Amino acid sequence: MTGLSALGQTLHDEHRQTLEVMNALENKILGNTASRPLDPSDNDDRRQLQDLIAVVDRDTGSHFRFEEEVLFPIFDEAGAGDMTQMLIQEHEAIRTLGSQLRLLAEGALENGFDESTWSDFRNAAMDLTASVMFHIQKEEMGLVGRLSFFIDPETDAELSRRHAEYAA
């Protein structure tokens, strides 16, 4: 996206990073190699599991907290409370799905997958990827691309600083 505010660009970049991880995950669980579990002894597979854990932690942690505690109240005051309430509900669902998948990924990093845990992982991953992709699409269209309608450049700069504090 072009023409985004500083905060909009930061949120967009986080969304893009999340989508990259979700797309790679979806390709693995639905692609030609879906029957072959990720193997934590393989460097690429290990990195994919670690990237998944890192994105889940960031998104369900600092990214969601910043939106809920700092950004959404601004949108609420401007009359967009219905949208923010829907996004918060989606955050809760994604937190639950992300936590479940994170536990499975951690277990796999320690013990690998067997047929049962790979099936559980694939099912949880399908649920999470679908939820995250749909959620990001809503945020990109309803929030990120419209920030300049809700905040002025000075507020954008302040919110960018605050976002960096959340991400630290």
64, 97 in Cβ contact below 8 A?
no
Q: Measure the CA–CA gap between 75 and 141, rounded to whole angstroms.
A: 14
Query: What is the value of pTM for the model shown?
Result: 0.93
Residues spanned by the domain of 54: 6-32+42-167
Residue 37: inside a domain: no
Residue 109: inside a domain: yes
Q: Where residue 2 falls among pLDDT bands split at 50, 70, 90?
A: low
For the chain, the domain total comes to 1
Q: Measure the CA–CA gap between 5 and 28, rounded to whole angstroms.
A: 34
Instruction: Report which of 60, 89, 83 is spatially closest to residue 146, judged by C-alpha positions.
Output: 83
Give me the pLDDT at residue 168, please. Answer: 83
Residue 1: inside a domain: no
100, 120 in Cβ contact below 8 A?
no
Q: Measure the CA–CA gap between 150 and 74, rounded to whole angstroms.
A: 7
For the residues 122-128, what does the mean pLDDT come to? 97
What CATH number does residue 100 fall under?
A: 1.20.120.520
Residue 116: inside a domain: yes
Residue 122: inside a domain: yes
